[in-house]
Protein backbone atom coordinates (compact mmCIF):
# COMPACT_ATOMS: atom_id res chain seq x y z
CA UNK A 1 0.00 0.00 0.00
CA UNK A 2 2.89 2.37 0.68
CA UNK A 3 4.19 1.90 -2.87
CA UNK A 4 0.75 2.68 -4.27
CA UNK A 5 0.62 5.76 -2.05
CA UNK A 6 4.02 6.92 -3.35
CA UNK A 7 2.93 6.64 -6.98
CA UNK A 8 -0.32 8.45 -6.34
CA UNK A 9 1.51 11.15 -4.43
CA UNK A 10 3.97 11.61 -7.30
CA UNK A 11 1.13 11.94 -9.81
CA UNK A 12 -0.71 14.51 -7.72
CA UNK A 13 2.51 16.39 -6.96
CA UNK A 14 3.19 16.62 -10.70
CA UNK A 15 -0.32 18.01 -11.19
CA UNK A 16 0.27 20.66 -8.53
CA UNK A 17 3.66 21.46 -10.08
CA UNK A 18 2.22 22.45 -13.45
CA UNK A 19 2.01 26.15 -14.39
CA UNK A 20 -0.64 27.84 -12.20
CA UNK A 21 -3.40 27.99 -14.81
CA UNK A 22 -2.97 24.37 -15.89
CA UNK A 23 -2.61 23.17 -12.29
CA UNK A 24 -5.75 25.04 -11.25
CA UNK A 25 -7.78 23.65 -14.11
CA UNK A 26 -6.46 20.14 -13.44
CA UNK A 27 -7.33 20.29 -9.74
CA UNK A 28 -10.83 21.61 -10.47
CA UNK A 29 -11.46 18.91 -13.06
CA UNK A 30 -10.22 16.18 -10.73
CA UNK A 31 -12.41 17.44 -7.88
CA UNK A 32 -15.44 17.61 -10.19
CA UNK A 33 -14.96 14.04 -11.45
CA UNK A 34 -14.41 12.62 -7.97
CA UNK A 35 -17.44 14.52 -6.65
CA UNK A 36 -19.62 12.93 -9.31
CA UNK A 37 -18.20 9.51 -8.55
CA UNK A 38 -18.98 9.92 -4.86
CA UNK A 39 -22.43 11.50 -5.24
CA UNK A 40 -23.98 9.44 -8.05
CA UNK A 41 -24.55 6.10 -6.21
CA UNK A 42 -28.27 5.81 -5.33
CA UNK A 43 -29.00 9.17 -6.96
CA UNK A 44 -31.72 7.72 -9.20
CA UNK A 45 -32.81 4.84 -6.96
CA UNK A 46 -33.40 6.69 -3.68
CA UNK A 47 -37.19 7.24 -3.41
CA UNK A 48 -38.69 10.64 -2.52
CA UNK A 49 -37.65 11.50 1.02
CA UNK A 50 -40.19 12.91 3.45
CA UNK A 51 -40.89 15.54 4.20
CA UNK A 52 -39.04 18.50 2.72
CA UNK A 53 -37.78 16.91 -0.50
CA UNK A 54 -41.19 15.65 -1.55
CA UNK A 55 -42.77 19.03 -0.78
CA UNK A 56 -40.19 20.91 -2.84
CA UNK A 57 -40.46 18.48 -5.75
CA UNK A 58 -44.27 18.47 -5.77
CA UNK A 59 -44.45 22.28 -5.69
CA UNK A 60 -41.85 22.46 -8.49
CA UNK A 61 -43.82 19.91 -10.52
CA UNK A 62 -46.97 21.98 -10.17
CA UNK A 63 -45.07 25.14 -11.14
CA UNK A 64 -43.75 23.47 -14.28
CA UNK A 65 -47.17 22.04 -15.15
CA UNK A 66 -49.05 25.34 -14.71
CA UNK A 67 -46.36 27.68 -16.03
CA UNK A 68 -46.95 30.02 -13.06
CA UNK A 69 -43.43 31.08 -12.05
CA UNK A 70 -44.56 33.48 -9.32
CA UNK A 71 -46.82 31.52 -7.00
CA UNK A 72 -45.68 28.43 -5.07
CA UNK A 73 -48.29 25.82 -4.24
CA UNK A 74 -48.42 22.32 -2.77
CA UNK A 75 -51.61 20.81 -4.16
CA UNK A 76 -54.19 23.56 -3.58
CA UNK A 77 -52.39 25.32 -0.72
CA UNK A 78 -49.71 28.02 -0.84
CA UNK A 79 -46.18 26.98 0.14
CA UNK A 80 -44.40 30.13 1.22
CA UNK A 81 -41.71 28.91 3.60
CA UNK A 82 -38.91 29.61 1.12
CA UNK A 83 -38.50 31.99 -1.83
CA UNK A 84 -38.87 30.85 -5.39
CA UNK A 85 -35.28 30.18 -6.53
CA UNK A 86 -35.14 26.44 -5.92
CA UNK A 87 -38.56 25.91 -7.53
CA UNK A 88 -37.40 27.67 -10.69
CA UNK A 89 -34.34 25.44 -10.88
CA UNK A 90 -36.23 22.21 -10.21
CA UNK A 91 -39.06 23.07 -12.59
CA UNK A 92 -36.51 23.89 -15.29
CA UNK A 93 -34.70 20.59 -14.65
CA UNK A 94 -37.97 18.67 -15.03
CA UNK A 95 -38.80 20.52 -18.25
CA UNK A 96 -35.38 19.93 -19.77
CA UNK A 97 -35.43 16.22 -18.91
CA UNK A 98 -38.81 15.49 -20.44
CA UNK A 99 -41.51 17.49 -18.68
CA UNK A 100 -43.04 17.38 -15.19
CA UNK A 101 -45.73 14.80 -15.95
CA UNK A 102 -44.68 11.60 -14.19
CA UNK A 103 -41.06 12.84 -13.94
CA UNK A 104 -39.16 10.66 -11.43
CA UNK A 105 -37.81 12.32 -8.31
CA UNK A 106 -34.21 12.34 -9.52
CA UNK A 107 -35.09 14.86 -12.22
CA UNK A 108 -35.81 17.36 -9.45
CA UNK A 109 -32.51 16.49 -7.74
CA UNK A 110 -30.38 17.56 -10.70
CA UNK A 111 -29.89 21.15 -9.43
CA UNK A 112 -28.73 19.79 -6.07
CA UNK A 113 -26.28 17.38 -7.70
CA UNK A 114 -24.82 20.05 -9.97
CA UNK A 115 -24.61 22.51 -7.08
CA UNK A 116 -22.85 19.97 -4.83
CA UNK A 117 -20.24 19.22 -7.50
CA UNK A 118 -19.66 22.92 -8.19
CA UNK A 119 -19.47 23.61 -4.46
CA UNK A 120 -16.61 21.13 -4.12
CA UNK A 121 -14.88 22.73 -7.13
CA UNK A 122 -15.30 26.26 -5.75
CA UNK A 123 -14.04 25.13 -2.35
CA UNK A 124 -10.87 23.95 -4.07
CA UNK A 125 -10.70 27.17 -6.07
CA UNK A 126 -11.12 29.25 -2.92
CA UNK A 127 -8.18 27.49 -1.28
CA UNK A 128 -6.08 28.16 -4.39
CA UNK A 129 -6.60 31.89 -3.81
CA UNK A 130 -4.47 31.62 -0.68
CA UNK A 131 -2.29 28.56 -1.20
CA UNK A 132 -2.12 27.54 -4.84
CA UNK A 133 -2.96 24.17 -6.37
CA UNK A 134 -1.68 22.11 -3.43
CA UNK A 135 -4.04 23.90 -1.04
CA UNK A 136 -6.88 23.54 -3.53
CA UNK A 137 -6.31 19.82 -3.74
CA UNK A 138 -6.20 19.51 0.06
CA UNK A 139 -9.46 21.43 0.46
CA UNK A 140 -11.29 19.96 -2.53
CA UNK A 141 -10.63 16.21 -2.39
CA UNK A 142 -12.01 15.51 1.12
CA UNK A 143 -14.88 17.90 0.38
CA UNK A 144 -15.67 15.94 -2.79
CA UNK A 145 -16.58 12.91 -0.68
CA UNK A 146 -18.11 14.66 2.31
CA UNK A 147 -21.06 12.82 3.81
CA UNK A 148 -23.50 15.67 4.42
CA UNK A 149 -22.78 17.22 1.01
CA UNK A 150 -23.34 13.83 -0.65
CA UNK A 151 -26.63 13.50 1.21
CA UNK A 152 -27.75 16.96 0.08
CA UNK A 153 -26.78 16.12 -3.52
CA UNK A 154 -29.41 13.37 -3.32
CA UNK A 155 -32.20 15.66 -2.11
CA UNK A 156 -34.33 18.07 -4.11
CA UNK A 157 -34.05 20.77 -1.43
CA UNK A 158 -32.36 24.15 -1.07
CA UNK A 159 -29.18 23.40 0.84
CA UNK A 160 -26.69 22.34 -1.84
CA UNK A 161 -27.77 25.24 -4.06
CA UNK A 162 -27.57 27.66 -1.13
CA UNK A 163 -24.02 26.49 -0.44
CA UNK A 164 -23.05 27.17 -4.04
CA UNK A 165 -24.44 30.71 -3.92
CA UNK A 166 -22.48 31.45 -0.75
CA UNK A 167 -19.28 30.16 -2.33
CA UNK A 168 -19.91 32.33 -5.40
CA UNK A 169 -19.95 35.38 -3.11
CA UNK A 170 -17.07 34.32 -0.86
CA UNK A 171 -14.66 33.65 -3.73
CA UNK A 172 -14.30 37.30 -4.89
CA UNK A 173 -14.41 38.44 -1.27
CA UNK A 174 -11.45 36.16 -0.53
CA UNK A 175 -9.50 37.62 -3.44
CA UNK A 176 -9.95 41.23 -2.37
CA UNK A 177 -9.12 40.34 1.24
CA UNK A 178 -5.91 38.58 0.15
CA UNK A 179 -4.91 41.54 -2.00
CA UNK A 180 -5.81 44.05 0.70
CA UNK A 181 -3.62 42.29 3.26
CA UNK A 182 -0.75 42.02 0.81
CA UNK A 183 -1.00 45.79 0.18
CA UNK A 184 -1.36 46.54 3.91
CA UNK A 185 -4.89 47.79 3.30
CA UNK A 186 -3.88 50.52 0.87
CA UNK A 187 -6.67 52.03 -1.28
CA UNK A 188 -8.23 49.02 -3.01
CA UNK A 189 -8.30 48.15 -6.67
CA UNK A 190 -11.97 47.64 -7.61
CA UNK A 191 -13.11 44.20 -8.66
CA UNK A 192 -13.59 43.57 -12.34
CA UNK A 193 -17.16 43.43 -13.51
CA UNK A 194 -17.00 39.64 -13.57
CA UNK A 195 -16.12 39.62 -9.87
CA UNK A 196 -18.88 42.13 -9.14
CA UNK A 197 -21.40 39.94 -10.94
CA UNK A 198 -20.19 36.84 -9.08
CA UNK A 199 -20.32 38.46 -5.62
CA UNK A 200 -23.58 40.39 -5.89
CA UNK A 201 -25.18 37.83 -8.18
CA UNK A 202 -24.30 35.08 -5.70
CA UNK A 203 -25.94 37.05 -2.89
CA UNK A 204 -29.02 37.66 -5.04
CA UNK A 205 -29.29 33.98 -6.00
CA UNK A 206 -28.86 32.97 -2.36
CA UNK A 207 -31.63 35.37 -1.34
CA UNK A 208 -33.98 33.92 -3.95
CA UNK A 209 -33.16 30.40 -2.74
CA UNK A 210 -33.28 30.77 1.04
CA UNK A 211 -33.88 34.36 2.00
CA UNK A 212 -31.36 36.09 4.29
CA UNK A 213 -29.09 33.12 5.00
CA UNK A 214 -26.53 33.72 2.22
CA UNK A 215 -26.27 37.50 2.80
CA UNK A 216 -26.09 36.84 6.53
CA UNK A 217 -23.18 34.39 6.24
CA UNK A 218 -21.23 36.78 4.01
CA UNK A 219 -22.06 39.79 6.19
CA UNK A 220 -20.79 38.03 9.31
CA UNK A 221 -17.55 37.17 7.49
CA UNK A 222 -17.08 40.81 6.46
CA UNK A 223 -17.90 42.05 9.96
CA UNK A 224 -15.39 39.68 11.57
CA UNK A 225 -12.60 40.67 9.16
CA UNK A 226 -13.37 44.37 9.51
CA UNK A 227 -13.34 44.20 13.29
CA UNK A 228 -10.19 42.06 13.41
CA UNK A 229 -8.19 44.47 11.23
CA UNK A 230 -9.99 47.71 12.14
CA UNK A 231 -10.10 48.45 8.43
CA UNK A 232 -13.15 48.80 6.20
CA UNK A 233 -11.87 50.76 3.21
CA UNK A 234 -10.79 47.57 1.41
CA UNK A 235 -14.47 46.66 1.00
CA UNK A 236 -14.77 49.41 -1.57
CA UNK A 237 -13.29 46.95 -4.04
CA UNK A 238 -16.69 45.24 -4.07
CA UNK A 239 -18.15 48.27 -5.92
CA UNK A 240 -21.12 48.49 -3.55
CA UNK A 241 -23.17 51.08 -5.49
CA UNK A 242 -23.51 49.22 -8.79
CA UNK A 243 -23.43 45.93 -6.88
CA UNK A 244 -26.41 46.78 -4.72
CA UNK A 245 -28.28 47.98 -7.78
CA UNK A 246 -27.58 44.65 -9.48
CA UNK A 247 -28.68 42.78 -6.35
CA UNK A 248 -31.98 44.68 -6.18
CA UNK A 249 -32.56 44.30 -9.91
CA UNK A 250 -32.29 40.52 -9.56
CA UNK A 251 -34.19 40.11 -6.29
CA UNK A 252 -36.96 42.69 -6.20
CA UNK A 253 -39.13 41.63 -9.18
CA UNK A 254 -40.20 38.31 -7.71
CA UNK A 255 -40.60 39.65 -4.16
CA UNK A 256 -42.80 42.45 -5.49
CA UNK A 257 -44.78 39.98 -7.60
CA UNK A 258 -45.38 37.53 -4.75
CA UNK A 259 -46.38 40.36 -2.41
CA UNK A 260 -48.87 41.56 -5.03
CA UNK A 261 -50.15 37.98 -5.42
CA UNK A 262 -50.30 36.92 -1.76
CA UNK A 263 -50.63 40.19 0.13
CA UNK A 264 -48.62 39.58 3.28
CA UNK A 265 -49.13 35.82 3.08
CA UNK A 266 -45.61 35.10 1.84
CA UNK A 267 -43.92 37.34 4.42
CA UNK A 268 -45.99 35.96 7.26
CA UNK A 269 -45.10 32.36 6.35
CA UNK A 270 -41.46 32.85 5.32
CA UNK A 271 -40.35 35.32 7.97
CA UNK A 272 -42.94 35.12 10.70
CA UNK A 273 -43.49 31.38 10.94
CA UNK A 274 -40.43 29.81 9.31
CA UNK A 275 -37.37 31.99 9.97
CA UNK A 276 -38.37 33.74 13.19
CA UNK A 277 -40.07 30.58 14.41
CA UNK A 278 -36.76 28.71 14.23
CA UNK A 279 -34.98 31.51 16.07
CA UNK A 280 -37.61 31.80 18.79
CA UNK A 281 -38.06 28.08 19.46
CA UNK A 282 -37.46 24.53 18.27
CA UNK A 283 -39.60 23.82 15.21
CA UNK A 284 -41.02 20.38 14.42
CA UNK A 285 -39.25 18.72 17.38
CA UNK A 286 -35.82 19.65 15.98
CA UNK A 287 -34.54 21.32 19.14
CA UNK A 288 -31.08 20.62 20.55
CA UNK A 289 -28.70 22.36 22.97
CA UNK A 290 -25.70 24.51 22.02
CA UNK A 291 -22.70 22.37 21.07
CA UNK A 292 -24.80 19.91 19.05
CA UNK A 293 -23.28 20.97 15.74
CA UNK A 294 -19.77 20.66 17.11
CA UNK A 295 -20.50 17.10 18.20
CA UNK A 296 -22.13 16.21 14.87
CA UNK A 297 -19.24 17.75 12.93
CA UNK A 298 -17.07 14.66 13.43
CA UNK A 299 -19.69 12.58 11.64
CA UNK A 300 -21.25 14.92 9.07
CA UNK A 301 -17.88 16.40 7.98
CA UNK A 302 -16.40 12.97 7.29
CA UNK A 303 -13.93 12.28 5.73
CA UNK A 304 -12.61 15.84 6.08
CA UNK A 305 -13.18 15.48 9.83
CA UNK A 306 -10.17 13.14 9.93
CA UNK A 307 -8.00 15.78 8.27
CA UNK A 308 -9.44 18.49 10.53
CA UNK A 309 -8.57 16.54 13.68
CA UNK A 310 -5.00 16.01 12.51
CA UNK A 311 -4.60 19.60 11.30
CA UNK A 312 -6.12 21.49 14.25
CA UNK A 313 -2.77 22.34 15.92
CA UNK A 314 -1.38 23.59 12.60
CA UNK A 315 -4.54 25.63 11.94
CA UNK A 316 -4.22 27.31 15.32
CA UNK A 317 -0.54 28.03 14.74
CA UNK A 318 -1.35 29.55 11.35
CA UNK A 319 -4.36 31.57 12.54
CA UNK A 320 -2.73 34.86 11.50
CA UNK A 321 -2.13 33.75 7.90
CA UNK A 322 -4.51 35.32 5.42
CA UNK A 323 -6.24 32.10 4.34
CA UNK A 324 -6.77 30.76 7.85
CA UNK A 325 -7.89 34.17 9.12
CA UNK A 326 -10.46 34.35 6.33
CA UNK A 327 -11.64 30.81 7.15
CA UNK A 328 -12.03 31.59 10.84
CA UNK A 329 -13.89 34.82 10.13
CA UNK A 330 -16.24 32.81 7.92
CA UNK A 331 -16.78 29.84 10.21
CA UNK A 332 -16.69 31.04 13.81
CA UNK A 333 -19.28 33.88 14.04
CA UNK A 334 -21.89 32.11 11.92
CA UNK A 335 -21.33 28.80 13.69
CA UNK A 336 -21.94 30.44 17.08
CA UNK A 337 -25.17 31.98 15.80
CA UNK A 338 -26.45 28.61 14.59
CA UNK A 339 -25.40 26.90 17.82
CA UNK A 340 -27.42 29.48 19.75
CA UNK A 341 -30.58 28.97 17.66
CA UNK A 342 -32.98 26.44 19.24
CA UNK A 343 -33.91 24.67 15.97
CA UNK A 344 -31.14 22.41 14.72
CA UNK A 345 -30.75 20.09 11.75
CA UNK A 346 -27.42 18.61 10.76
CA UNK A 347 -27.26 20.38 7.39
CA UNK A 348 -27.88 23.88 8.76
CA UNK A 349 -24.14 24.50 9.30
CA UNK A 350 -23.20 23.25 5.82
CA UNK A 351 -22.42 26.87 4.71
CA UNK A 352 -19.45 26.87 7.10
CA UNK A 353 -17.89 23.59 6.01
CA UNK A 354 -16.00 25.13 3.06
CA UNK A 355 -14.32 27.45 5.57
CA UNK A 356 -13.09 24.44 7.55
CA UNK A 357 -11.90 22.82 4.32
CA UNK A 358 -10.08 26.06 3.42
CA UNK A 359 -8.26 26.06 6.75
CA UNK A 360 -7.27 22.41 6.23
CA UNK A 361 -6.06 23.15 2.72
CA UNK A 362 -3.80 26.00 3.83
CA UNK A 363 -1.89 23.91 6.39
CA UNK A 364 -2.22 20.36 5.04
CA UNK A 365 1.14 20.08 3.30
CA UNK A 366 2.92 20.81 6.59
CA UNK A 367 0.49 19.10 8.95
CA UNK A 368 0.31 15.82 7.02
CA UNK A 369 4.06 15.21 7.05
CA UNK A 370 4.31 15.26 10.82
CA UNK A 371 4.97 11.77 12.24
CA UNK A 372 1.86 9.72 12.89
CA UNK A 373 2.80 8.81 16.45
CA UNK A 374 1.37 9.06 19.94
CA UNK A 375 -1.59 11.43 20.10
CA UNK A 376 -1.78 11.92 16.33
CA UNK A 377 -1.91 8.19 15.76
CA UNK A 378 -4.75 7.74 18.24
CA UNK A 379 -6.58 10.73 16.78
CA UNK A 380 -6.42 9.07 13.36
CA UNK A 381 -7.66 5.75 14.74
CA UNK A 382 -10.58 7.31 16.61
CA UNK A 383 -11.64 9.62 13.80
CA UNK A 384 -11.13 6.88 11.21
CA UNK A 385 -13.38 4.55 13.20
CA UNK A 386 -16.31 6.99 12.99
CA UNK A 387 -17.17 6.46 9.30
CA UNK A 388 -16.94 2.71 9.85
CA UNK A 389 -19.42 3.03 12.71
CA UNK A 390 -21.65 5.26 10.59
CA UNK A 391 -21.90 2.75 7.77
CA UNK A 392 -22.32 -0.13 10.21
CA UNK A 393 -25.13 1.73 12.00
CA UNK A 394 -26.97 2.41 8.73
CA UNK A 395 -26.51 -1.19 7.59
CA UNK A 396 -27.65 -2.57 10.93
CA UNK A 397 -30.73 -0.38 10.92
CA UNK A 398 -31.67 -1.42 7.38
CA UNK A 399 -31.26 -5.08 8.32
CA UNK A 400 -33.44 -4.54 11.40
CA UNK A 401 -36.19 -3.36 9.04
CA UNK A 402 -36.03 -6.62 7.10
CA UNK A 403 -33.76 -5.58 4.23
CA UNK A 404 -30.54 -7.28 3.15
CA UNK A 405 -28.59 -4.60 1.23
CA UNK A 406 -25.59 -6.88 0.81
CA UNK A 407 -24.06 -5.34 -2.30
CA UNK A 408 -24.22 -1.69 -1.12
CA UNK A 409 -22.79 -2.56 2.28
CA UNK A 410 -20.02 -4.78 0.95
CA UNK A 411 -19.05 -2.23 -1.69
CA UNK A 412 -19.19 0.58 0.85
CA UNK A 413 -17.01 -1.23 3.39
CA UNK A 414 -14.50 -2.28 0.72
CA UNK A 415 -14.08 1.30 -0.57
CA UNK A 416 -14.03 2.66 2.98
CA UNK A 417 -11.43 0.12 4.08
CA UNK A 418 -9.21 0.83 1.08
CA UNK A 419 -9.48 4.55 1.84
CA UNK A 420 -8.46 4.14 5.46
CA UNK A 421 -5.58 1.84 4.51
CA UNK A 422 -4.32 4.27 1.86
CA UNK A 423 -4.66 7.25 4.19
CA UNK A 424 -2.81 5.47 6.99
CA UNK A 425 0.01 4.33 4.70
CA UNK A 426 0.34 7.80 3.16
CA UNK A 427 0.41 9.58 6.50
CA UNK A 428 3.02 7.19 7.89
CA UNK A 429 5.19 7.79 4.82
CA UNK A 430 4.62 11.58 4.86
CA UNK A 431 2.80 11.60 1.51
CA UNK A 432 0.17 14.35 1.95
CA UNK A 433 -1.40 14.26 -1.53
CA UNK A 434 -1.90 10.49 -1.50
CA UNK A 435 -3.56 10.78 1.91
CA UNK A 436 -6.11 13.11 0.34
CA UNK A 437 -7.13 10.45 -2.18
CA UNK A 438 -7.46 8.00 0.68
CA UNK A 439 -9.75 10.42 2.51
CA UNK A 440 -11.88 10.82 -0.60
CA UNK A 441 -12.26 7.04 -0.79
CA UNK A 442 -13.39 7.01 2.84
CA UNK A 443 -16.09 9.57 2.06
CA UNK A 444 -17.20 7.85 -1.13
CA UNK A 445 -17.48 4.52 0.69
CA UNK A 446 -19.54 5.73 3.63
CA UNK A 447 -21.75 8.10 1.60
CA UNK A 448 -22.45 5.73 -1.28
CA UNK A 449 -22.80 2.69 0.96
CA UNK A 450 -25.20 4.37 3.38
CA UNK A 451 -27.44 5.97 0.76
CA UNK A 452 -27.55 2.89 -1.46
CA UNK A 453 -28.40 0.71 1.55
CA UNK A 454 -31.24 3.04 2.50
CA UNK A 455 -32.53 3.04 -1.07
CA UNK A 456 -32.57 -0.78 -1.02
CA UNK A 457 -34.67 -0.95 2.15
CA UNK A 458 -38.38 -1.09 1.12
CA UNK A 459 -39.68 -0.60 4.67
CA UNK A 460 -38.35 2.97 4.64
CA UNK A 461 -40.51 3.89 1.65
CA UNK A 462 -44.23 3.11 2.03
CA UNK A 463 -45.32 5.70 -0.56
CA UNK A 464 -43.78 3.95 -3.60
CA UNK A 465 -45.36 0.67 -2.51
CA UNK A 466 -48.77 2.34 -2.18
CA UNK A 467 -48.50 3.99 -5.58
CA UNK A 468 -47.45 0.70 -7.20
CA UNK A 469 -50.58 -1.04 -5.91
CA UNK A 470 -52.94 1.41 -7.61
CA UNK A 471 -53.63 0.12 -11.13
CA UNK A 472 -53.97 2.58 -14.03
CA UNK A 473 -57.38 2.95 -15.62
CA UNK A 474 -57.62 4.10 -19.24
CA UNK A 475 -61.06 5.52 -18.54
CA UNK A 476 -59.74 7.85 -15.86
CA UNK A 477 -57.93 11.10 -16.60
CA UNK A 478 -56.57 10.91 -13.05
CA UNK A 479 -57.16 8.78 -9.97
CA UNK A 480 -57.94 10.60 -6.74
CA UNK A 481 -56.41 8.96 -3.67
CA UNK A 482 -58.29 9.31 -0.40
CA UNK A 483 -56.10 8.75 2.65
CA UNK A 484 -56.42 8.32 6.38
CA UNK A 485 -53.34 8.15 8.58
CA UNK A 486 -50.64 8.66 5.93
CA UNK A 487 -50.66 12.28 4.75
CA UNK A 488 -47.00 12.34 3.73
CA UNK A 489 -45.75 14.55 0.86
CA UNK A 490 -44.03 11.59 -0.81
CA UNK A 491 -47.46 10.04 -1.36
CA UNK A 492 -48.68 13.27 -2.95
CA UNK A 493 -45.68 13.31 -5.28
CA UNK A 494 -46.04 9.67 -6.34
CA UNK A 495 -49.82 9.30 -6.42
CA UNK A 496 -51.52 9.13 -9.84
CA UNK A 497 -53.69 12.14 -8.99
CA UNK A 498 -54.70 14.41 -6.10
CA UNK A 499 -54.42 13.12 -2.54
CA UNK A 500 -57.30 14.01 -0.25
CA UNK A 501 -57.34 13.67 3.52
CA UNK A 502 -60.62 11.95 4.27
CA UNK A 503 -62.80 10.05 6.70
CA UNK A 504 -64.01 6.45 6.54
CA UNK A 505 -67.59 7.31 5.51
CA UNK A 506 -66.39 9.74 2.83
CA UNK A 507 -63.87 7.40 1.24
CA UNK A 508 -66.27 4.45 1.42
CA UNK A 509 -68.87 6.51 -0.42
CA UNK A 510 -66.31 7.60 -3.02
CA UNK A 511 -65.13 4.03 -3.61
CA UNK A 512 -68.70 2.83 -4.16
CA UNK A 513 -69.65 5.59 -6.59
CA UNK A 514 -66.53 6.51 -8.59
CA UNK A 515 -64.22 4.18 -10.49
CA UNK A 516 -61.47 6.83 -10.60
CA UNK A 517 -60.60 6.74 -6.90
CA UNK A 518 -58.43 4.72 -4.54
CA UNK A 519 -57.93 4.81 -0.80
CA UNK A 520 -55.30 4.09 1.81
CA UNK A 521 -56.30 3.52 5.44
CA UNK A 522 -54.73 2.01 8.55
CA UNK A 523 -55.04 -1.76 8.32
CA UNK A 524 -56.86 -1.76 11.65
CA UNK A 525 -59.72 0.09 9.95
CA UNK A 526 -59.75 -2.01 6.78
CA UNK A 527 -62.75 -4.09 7.87
CA UNK A 528 -64.85 -0.92 8.00
CA UNK A 529 -64.23 -0.10 4.32
CA UNK A 530 -67.24 -1.68 2.63
CA UNK A 531 -68.06 -2.17 -1.02
CA UNK A 532 -64.45 -1.83 -2.19
CA UNK A 533 -61.69 -4.05 -3.52
CA UNK A 534 -58.60 -4.53 -1.38
CA UNK A 535 -55.50 -4.04 -3.54
CA UNK A 536 -52.88 -4.93 -0.96
CA UNK A 537 -51.16 -4.11 2.32
CA UNK A 538 -48.14 -1.91 2.91
CA UNK A 539 -46.07 -2.03 6.07
CA UNK A 540 -43.01 -0.01 6.90
CA UNK A 541 -41.77 3.13 8.61
CA UNK A 542 -43.05 6.65 8.24
CA UNK A 543 -39.73 8.50 8.30
CA UNK A 544 -41.56 11.80 8.66
CA UNK A 545 -42.81 10.77 12.11
CA UNK A 546 -40.49 7.86 12.94
CA UNK A 547 -43.50 5.59 13.54
CA UNK A 548 -44.29 2.23 11.97
CA UNK A 549 -47.25 2.06 9.61
CA UNK A 550 -49.52 -0.79 8.57
CA UNK A 551 -51.74 0.36 5.72
CA UNK A 552 -54.41 -1.18 3.51
CA UNK A 553 -54.90 0.05 -0.06
CA UNK A 554 -58.34 -0.12 -1.70
CA UNK A 555 -59.76 0.46 -5.15
CA UNK A 556 -63.39 0.53 -6.30
CA UNK A 557 -65.17 -2.80 -6.54
CA UNK A 558 -65.11 -4.41 -9.98
CA UNK A 559 -68.31 -3.94 -11.93
For residue 275, pLDDT beyond 90: no
Give ∠ CA 456-458-461 in degrees, rounded to 5: 110
pLDDT at 185: 87
Q: Which of 70, 109, 114, 112 is nearest to 88 (CA)?
A: 70
3-class secondary structure, 11: helix
3-class secondary structure, 276: helix
Put residue 7 in one of left, alpha, beta given phi > 0 → left and psi -120 to 50 → alpha: alpha
pLDDT tens-place string over residues 331-371: 999 999 999 988 888 899 999 999 999 999 999 998 888 88
pLDDT at 330: 98
pLDDT at 352: 97
Q: Which of 224, 210, 250 is nearest to 351 (CA)?
A: 210
For residue 54, pLDDT beyond 90: yes
pLDDT tens-place string over residues 176-214: 999 999 988 888 888 999 999 999 999 999 999 999 999
Give the 3-state DSSP-derived string for 105-172, with helices as H, strands as E and coil as C: HHHHHHHHHHHHHHHHHHHHHHHHHHHHHHHHHHHHHHHCCCHHHHHHHCCCCCHHHHHHHHHHHHHH
**Which ranges of 401-495 would DSSP assign to H, the alpha helix?**
406-428, 432-455, 462-469, 489-494
pLDDT at 279: 60
- pLDDT level of residue 93 (50, 70, 90 thresholds): very high
pLDDT at 280: 54
For residue 272, pLDDT beyond 90: no
pLDDT tens-place string over residues 141-185: 999 999 999 999 999 999 999 999 999 999 999 999 999 999 888
CA–CA dist 97, 41 (Å, integer): 20
pLDDT tens-place string over residues 214-235: 999 999 999 999 999 999 999 9
461-556 CATH: 3.40.190
Share of the chain above pLDDT 90, in %: 79
* Residues 6+ away with beta carbon under 8 Å from 395: 405, 409, 412, 449, 453
pTM higher than the cut 0.85: yes
- pLDDT level of residue 140 (50, 70, 90 thresholds): very high
Mean pLDDT of 258-278: 80
pLDDT at 1: 82
pLDDT at 188: 83
User: Virtual CA dihedral for 120, 121, 122, 124, nearest 10 degrees?
Assistant: 90
Strand-by-strand arrangement of the 499-501 sheet: 499-501, 480-483, 517-522, 547-556, 532-542
Mean pLDDT of 278-295: 71
Domain segments of the chain as ranges: 2-268+295-455, 461-556
Whether the bond into 84 is cis, omega within 30 of 0: no
Amino acid sequence: MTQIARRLNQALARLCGLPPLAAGLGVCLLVALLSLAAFLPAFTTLPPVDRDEARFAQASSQMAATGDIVDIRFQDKPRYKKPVGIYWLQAAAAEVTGGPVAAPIWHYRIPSLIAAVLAAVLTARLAMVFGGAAAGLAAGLPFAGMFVLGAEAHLATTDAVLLLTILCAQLPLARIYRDARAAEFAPPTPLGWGGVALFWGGLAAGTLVKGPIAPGVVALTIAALTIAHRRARWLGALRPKPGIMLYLLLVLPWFVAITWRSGMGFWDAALGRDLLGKVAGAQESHGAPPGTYLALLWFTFQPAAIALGLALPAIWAARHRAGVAFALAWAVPGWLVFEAAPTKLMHYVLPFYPALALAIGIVWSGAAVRPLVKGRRWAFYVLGALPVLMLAAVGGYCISLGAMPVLPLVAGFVVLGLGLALTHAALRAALPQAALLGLWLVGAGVTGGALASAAATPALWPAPAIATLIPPDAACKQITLYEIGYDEPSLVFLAPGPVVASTLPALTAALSSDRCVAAVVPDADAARVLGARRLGTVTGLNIGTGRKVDLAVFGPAKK
